[in-house]
Structure 1
Amino acid sequence: MKIAFYGSSLLSAYWNGAATYYRGMLCELARRGYDVTFYEPDAFDRQQHRDIDPPDWAKVVVYPATEAGLRAVMACAPDADVVVKASGVGVFDDELIEGVMARARPDAVRIFWDVDAPATLAGLRDDPRQPLGRVLPHLDMVLTYGGGPPVVSAYESLGARVCRPIYNALDPSTHHPVATDLRFAGDLNFLANRLPDREERVERFFLQPAARSPQRRFLIGGSGWDDKPMPDNVRRVGHVGTGDHNAFNCSGLAVLNVARDSMADVGFSPATRVFEAAGAGACLITDAWEGIELFLNPGEEVLVARDGRDVAEHLETLSPERARAIGEAARQRILTEHTYARRAAEADTLIREQVAAKRERSVA
C-alpha cells in the first residue's frame, strides 16, 4: 500500500521533536510492505539543519512553503492508498487537512495523526468550526502519539469515528548505549527546545534543583535557551542533533524528562526523549504524570519527581552504580515492550482493518 504522509519533517529534528517518531514509525511500516512518501515544507531552516539524508525506505518530497508548493503536493494525494495529515506541519496546516482529504480517493484510508493531541484538542474545544473540526467526522481514523483514554474519549466526542494512541517508542538501531563524551558530562542532563508551555515546568524541575545544588553540574541542550537566566552551574550546549543524542544521554549521571503543560495535565504522553534515554541505558528522572507505570516501573526503571525538591533529592541519593542499574532495567523493559516494530504492528493492524471495512462498505 502507498502512504502519502504530510508532516513537519522527516529529515530534520531542528525545532521538530516529532522527527524521531516519524522515522521510527515509517521505517517499520516500510518494512511491513508499505510504500512511503513523506511530504515536508522547506520551512523554519529545517533543511539547513538536516540530521539524516533521505532514507532508502521512504521517498521524501521537500516542497516550497508557498501556495504553489502546497497545491503541487496536495495534487499527489489521489495516488495514495493511505493519506495521512500530521498535526503541527507549521505552514498551511488548515489548507492541508482540508485539501489532501478532499483529494484522496474514495477508497483511500484517511488519517489525522496527532503528535500533540492535548494542544490540538484544546484548540478544537475553543473553536470547533476550524478546518480540522469540520473534516474530523469524515476521516476514517485519528491516531495519536499519546494521551491514552482521556484523548480517545475527547476525540470521539468531537466526532472522530475511531481514535487510537500509537505511543512513542524506541528504534534500537538509532538509540543505544555508547561511550561517555566529555562534551556532555554532567550530573543531570536535560534536552528540550524552549517552548512557552514547558518553560515554567523547566524552571521548577531543572533550574530550581540546580540552584539548590551548586556543587552539581547541570547540562541543558536544545534551541532557544541562550538568553534564559540560569544558575552558574548550568551549562548550555545549544541544539543537539540526533547523531549526538546517545552521547548526551550516556554522559550524565542522570537524564531529566519534563513534559509540556498539556501533556502533563492529560497524562499517558511519554515524550520521545523517554524512550531514547531508556534505550541508551540512561538513568531517567521524569516529572510525575498519570500513566508512567504503563511504560516504566517507578523506583526500579525510572525515578519520578513531583517537584524540583524531589529532583534534587534523587540526585543526592543516586550513586553511579544505582544509576546504571536503573538505566539497564529501563533499557530491557523498553526493548521488550516499547519498540517501533511493535508500534508499527499496531498501526498496520488498524490500517488494514480500515481498508477491509471500506471494501465491505463499497460492496454493500
Structure 2
Amino acid sequence: MTKLRVVVLGLSLSSSWGNGHATTFRALLRAFAARGHDVLFLERDVPWYASHRDLQDPDFCRLEFYSNLKDLERYRETIKGADAVIVGSYVPQGVDVGRYVQRVANGVVAFYDIDTPVTLAKLERGDYEYLTPNLIPHYDVYFSFTGGPTLNLLIERYGSPAARALYCSVDPEAYPTRDREKRWDLSYLGTYSPDRQPTLERLLIEPARKAPHLRFAVAGPQYPIGIEWPGNVERIDHVPPNDHPAFYARSRYTLNVTRADMIRAGYSPSVRLFEAAACGTPIISDTWEGIETLLEPDREILLARTPDDVLRVLGTWSDDQRRALGTRARHRILKQHTSAHRAASMEQVLFEAIRHRRQEQPLALAVES
C-alpha cells in the first residue's frame, strides 16, 4: 500500500478544552497513522488552548504550532509536497488558510467539516468565519460530519466535486468498559451551547426537579453562572478525555444532546454518542432523522422527547435491561463506528481523489500551455 504524506490544519489536537475537535482528530489520525501514513498536524497557537493542553507530544503524528497566517510560510514546502492537505472547520482565519492551501498545495486539498450543519447555517446568513461558498468547489473533497441529504446539497448547491460523509468515531482502546460504582442516575458530558441548553433543560434539569431522590451530573466548561441547577445536579467544569470512560462508568445512563442545526439537518451524530456507547453506558438521546441508521432505538439507544420519557426509563428499567442495552450499543459501535473504520474510509476517498487528480492533470497542463 502506498504511504500517504498528509498535512492537517485543524482547530486543535493539543487541547480538548471546550471543543470536540481534539478527541475526533486524535482518534481518526491515530488510526490513520496505524495504516502506515505520515501525518503532520498544524495547529494555530492560541492562548485559550495553550493554557489547557492535555496532549503535548502525540505518538501517532507530528504536532507543530504556527502563530499566524504569515507563519505558515515555514511549512510551504511541506504543504506543497504533501499527497493531501486537509483543512478543518473553525480553524482561525480559516478562509485565508483555505485560500493559501488551495494556492500552494500540489496534492489533493480537502475540507473536513466537523460542524457541517452549523457551517451551512453560517453560509446561508453570509457568515464566512472559516469557509466561503467560493472555496468549496476548489476543495477536491468535502468530508462532512453530516450524511444523508446534506451531501447532495453540498454538491448541487455549493459545487463540491466530492462530498463524503466522515462521521465522528471512537478509539475503542481509549474508551473501554469500566466497572465503577454508580454515582449518577443520568449524566451529560458536553460544553455549554445556547442551542443545546433548552434540550438539556427538558431532558435532564426538569427530570431532576421532578425526581429529587435521583442523582444527576452535567460536566463541561463555559456554562453561565446564572443557570439555576437543582440541588441533585452535580456540576463538573471539565472532564479530560482520559477520564471520560470512568465518568460514563459511574452513570446508570448518559444523555446525548444535539445542536439545533444538526437536528434540522439530521444524520449528525456527536462524538459523545460513540464514546458513551463504546464504554457500554446506556444512552438516552434527543431525536433526529438518521439516528436509527447508527443505533437501533429501544435496542441500542433510547429516545426521549419529554421529561416524563426520561423519568419513565430511570424509574422502570431494570438493571438487566439497562446493561443489555449498553452491551448491544457497544457491539454496534465496535462493528461499524470505530476510528479504524473512519480511517479506512478517509484513506479510500483520498486515494480516489489522488487518482482523479492525476487523470485530470495532463489535460490541465495542455490547456495552460
Regarding TM over 0.5, the answer is yes
The answer to whether structure 1 residue 338 and structure 2 residue 341 are counterparts is no
Equivalent residues, number: 357
2 CA distance for matches of 1:129 and 1:160?
17
Distance 1:115 1:44, change over 3 A: farther
Whether 1:11 aligns to 2:3 is no
Unaligned runs of 5+ in 2: 364-369
Q: Distance in 2 between matches of 1:200 and 1:44?
A: 30
Q: Quote the residue 1:266 is aligned against.
A: 265
Tell me by how many angstroms 1:44 deviates. 4.8
Partner SS, residue 330 of structure 1: helix
Please give the residue correspondences for 1:45-84 in structure 2 after superposition, counting only pairs within 5 Å.
Answer: 45-64=48-67, 66-73=68-75, 76-84=78-86
C-alpha RMSD over aligned residues: 1.8
Q: Deviations over 1:149-184 (max 9, x none)?
A: 2210221121111101111222111001113167xx
- Return the TM-score normalized by structure 2: 0.92
Cα pair distance change 1:223/1:155, threshold 3 Å: same
CA displacement at 1:67 relative to structure 2: 4.6
Residues 176-191 of structure 1 aligned to structure 2 (within 5 Å) = 176-180=176-180, 185-191=183-189
- 1:290-337 residue CA offsets vs partner (Å, 9 max, x unmatched): 111111111111111123321222211122222111111111111111
SS at match of 1:28: helix
Fraction of identical pairs, as percent: 34
Aligned equivalents of 1:234 and 1:129: distance in 2?
38
Whole-angstrom distance in 1 between the partners of 2:311 and 2:128: 46
- SS of corresponding position for 2:288: coil
**Offset of residue 74 of structure 1:** 5.8
Contact 2:28–2:342 (Cα < 8 Å) also in 1: yes
Deviation per residue, 1:195-232 (Å, 9 max, x gap): 12212221122211111211110101000226121111
Query: 1 CA distance for matches of 2:173 and 2:357?
Result: 36
Distance 1:307 1:168 in 2: 27
Cα 1:71/1:310, change in 2 over 3 Å: farther
- How big is each residue's C-alpha offset from its partner over 1:59-94, in whole Å with a ceiling of 9 and x where there is no partner? 001222x354355456642131101110012x2222
Residue type of the partner of 1:22? F
8 A contact 1:287–1:307 mirrored in 2:
no
CA distance in 1, matches of 2:119, 2:228: 30
Contact 2:148 2:266 in 1 (8 A): no
Contact 1:181–1:248 (CA under 8 A) maintained in structure 2: no
So what's the TM-score if we normalise by structure 1? 0.93
Structure 2 residue 79 is matched with structure 1 residue 97: no
Match of 1:209 among 207, 210, 214: 207
8 Å contact 1:201–1:261 — kept in the other structure? no
Contact 1:144/1:165 (<8 A) preserved: yes
Q: In the alignment, what sits opposite 1:275?
A: 274
Task: Provide the residue aligned with 1:297 in structure 2.
Answer: 296
In the alignment, is the contact (CA less than 8 A) between 1:209 and 1:312 conserved in 2? yes
